[in-house]
Amino acid sequence: MSPKNYNIIKEVIVLRQEWDTYILTKLVDVEEDVEALRVIRDLTPGTHKYKGRFVKCLISRDPDKYPDRLRVRLGRGQLTNHIWSIKITENVEGIPTKPYHMSGGISLKEE
Protein backbone atom coordinates (compact mmCIF):
# COMPACT_ATOMS: atom_id res chain seq x y z
CA MET A 1 0.00 0.00 0.00
CA SER A 2 1.40 3.42 -0.84
CA PRO A 3 2.13 5.85 1.99
CA LYS A 4 -0.48 8.25 0.53
CA ASN A 5 -3.27 5.68 0.60
CA TYR A 6 -2.18 4.58 4.07
CA ASN A 7 -2.51 8.13 5.37
CA ILE A 8 -5.90 8.56 3.72
CA ILE A 9 -7.18 5.38 5.34
CA LYS A 10 -5.59 6.33 8.65
CA GLU A 11 -7.37 9.70 8.60
CA VAL A 12 -10.70 8.10 7.83
CA ILE A 13 -10.33 5.50 10.56
CA VAL A 14 -8.92 7.86 13.16
CA LEU A 15 -11.33 10.69 12.14
CA ARG A 16 -8.89 13.36 13.02
CA GLN A 17 -10.48 16.49 14.28
CA GLU A 18 -9.71 19.65 12.37
CA TRP A 19 -8.99 23.05 13.87
CA ASP A 20 -7.68 26.33 12.66
CA THR A 21 -5.78 29.17 14.23
CA TYR A 22 -4.32 32.52 13.28
CA ILE A 23 -0.59 33.14 13.26
CA LEU A 24 0.32 36.79 13.25
CA THR A 25 4.07 36.46 13.24
CA LYS A 26 6.14 35.16 10.36
CA LEU A 27 5.50 31.45 9.99
CA VAL A 28 9.21 30.71 10.15
CA ASP A 29 9.25 32.18 13.65
CA VAL A 30 6.55 29.84 14.98
CA GLU A 31 7.91 27.59 17.69
CA GLU A 32 6.99 23.99 17.10
CA ASP A 33 6.65 21.39 19.85
CA VAL A 34 6.53 24.05 22.55
CA GLU A 35 3.42 24.29 24.68
CA ALA A 36 1.61 27.55 23.97
CA LEU A 37 -1.68 29.16 24.91
CA ARG A 38 -3.66 29.68 21.74
CA VAL A 39 -7.12 30.32 20.48
CA ILE A 40 -8.22 27.61 18.07
CA ARG A 41 -11.48 27.20 16.20
CA ASP A 42 -13.39 23.98 15.72
CA LEU A 43 -13.87 23.20 12.02
CA THR A 44 -16.28 20.29 12.57
CA PRO A 45 -19.22 20.84 10.19
CA GLY A 46 -22.49 21.82 11.79
CA THR A 47 -24.01 24.56 13.85
CA HIS A 48 -20.97 24.91 16.13
CA LYS A 49 -18.41 25.24 13.35
CA TYR A 50 -15.87 28.00 14.10
CA LYS A 51 -16.49 27.88 17.84
CA GLY A 52 -13.42 29.28 19.55
CA ARG A 53 -11.66 27.95 22.57
CA PHE A 54 -8.58 28.67 24.60
CA VAL A 55 -6.22 25.72 24.73
CA LYS A 56 -2.71 24.84 25.70
CA CYS A 57 -1.27 22.92 22.82
CA LEU A 58 1.69 21.72 20.84
CA ILE A 59 1.79 22.33 17.12
CA SER A 60 4.00 20.95 14.38
CA ARG A 61 4.57 21.51 10.73
CA ASP A 62 4.58 17.74 10.39
CA PRO A 63 0.92 17.00 9.58
CA ASP A 64 1.15 13.53 11.13
CA LYS A 65 3.07 14.24 14.29
CA TYR A 66 0.11 15.11 16.49
CA PRO A 67 -3.42 13.66 16.65
CA ASP A 68 -5.43 16.51 15.12
CA ARG A 69 -5.11 18.59 11.96
CA LEU A 70 -4.48 22.29 12.15
CA ARG A 71 -5.09 24.81 9.41
CA VAL A 72 -3.21 28.06 9.74
CA ARG A 73 -4.45 31.48 8.73
CA LEU A 74 -2.42 34.64 8.57
CA GLY A 75 -3.34 37.97 10.10
CA ARG A 76 -5.82 39.07 7.46
CA GLY A 77 -7.45 35.66 7.21
CA GLN A 78 -5.39 34.23 4.36
CA LEU A 79 -5.46 30.44 4.53
CA THR A 80 -2.05 28.86 4.10
CA ASN A 81 -1.76 25.69 2.07
CA HIS A 82 0.26 23.63 4.45
CA ILE A 83 -1.57 21.37 6.94
CA TRP A 84 -0.07 21.38 10.42
CA SER A 85 -0.86 19.08 13.31
CA ILE A 86 -1.87 19.91 16.85
CA LYS A 87 -2.05 18.20 20.20
CA ILE A 88 -4.28 19.82 22.78
CA THR A 89 -2.68 19.38 26.18
CA GLU A 90 -5.28 21.29 28.16
CA ASN A 91 -8.60 23.00 27.53
CA VAL A 92 -8.54 26.34 29.31
CA GLU A 93 -11.85 27.26 30.84
CA GLY A 94 -13.04 30.84 30.87
CA ILE A 95 -10.94 33.73 29.66
CA PRO A 96 -7.31 33.62 30.76
CA THR A 97 -6.84 36.08 33.60
CA LYS A 98 -3.47 37.13 32.28
CA PRO A 99 -4.18 40.17 30.12
CA TYR A 100 -4.57 38.42 26.85
CA HIS A 101 -3.42 40.43 23.89
CA MET A 102 -3.39 38.26 20.87
CA SER A 103 -0.07 37.72 19.26
CA GLY A 104 -0.67 34.42 17.59
CA GLY A 105 -0.20 32.42 20.75
CA ILE A 106 1.45 32.97 24.10
CA SER A 107 4.34 30.59 24.64
CA LEU A 108 4.30 28.75 27.93
CA LYS A 109 7.93 27.72 27.60
CA GLU A 110 9.94 28.17 30.77
CA GLU A 111 12.26 31.14 30.29
Partner 1 sequence: MAYKHYKDNREFIKALIESGDLVTIEQEVDWDMELGAIVRRACEKKSPAPYFKKIKDYPGWEGFGAPLSTWRRLNIAMGLDPDTPINVLQDEYLRRITEPLVKPVEIARNDAPCKENILTGADVDLFKLVAPMVHGGDGGRYLCTWHMVVGASLKDPEFVNWGMYRQMVFDETTMCGPVLPFSDMGKMFYGEYAPLNKPMPFATVIGMDPLSGVAACAPSPYPETEYTGQLMGAPVELVKCETSDLLVPAHAEIIIEGEVIPHVGIEEAPFGEYTGYRTSPRAGRTVYKVKCITYRNNPILTVSNMGVPTDEGQLLRSFSLALEMRKLIESQQIPISGVYMLPESTHHLVVVGVKNAYPGIAHQIGHLVFGSKLAPWFHQVMVVDEKTDIYNINELIHDFCTKLHPSRGIHIYTSHVGTPLYPFASPEDRKYGKGDKVVFDCLFPLDWPLAETPIKVIFSNKDIYPEEVQQKVLGSWKSYGFKD
Taking the alpha carbons at both ends of the chain, their separation in whole angstroms is 45
Distance CA 44, CA 19 (A): 8
Distance CA 67, CA 52 (A): 19
CB of 21: closest distance to partner 1 in angstroms?
10
Count how many residues are written for the chain.
111
Distance CA 34, CA 87 (A): 11
Give the nearer residue to partner 1 in terms of CB position, either 22 or 84. Answer: 22
CB of 57: closest distance to partner 1 in angstroms?
15
Distance CA 3, CA 19 (A): 24
Asked if 46 interacts with partner 1 (CB under 8 A), we say yes
Site string for partner 1, 90-109 (x = CB under 8 A): -----x-x-xxxx-------
Enumerate residues 48-87 that contact partner 1 by CB under 8 A. 48-53, 73, 75-79
Contact residues for partner 1 (CB under 8 A)? 22, 24, 39, 41, 46-53, 73, 75-79, 95, 97, 99-102
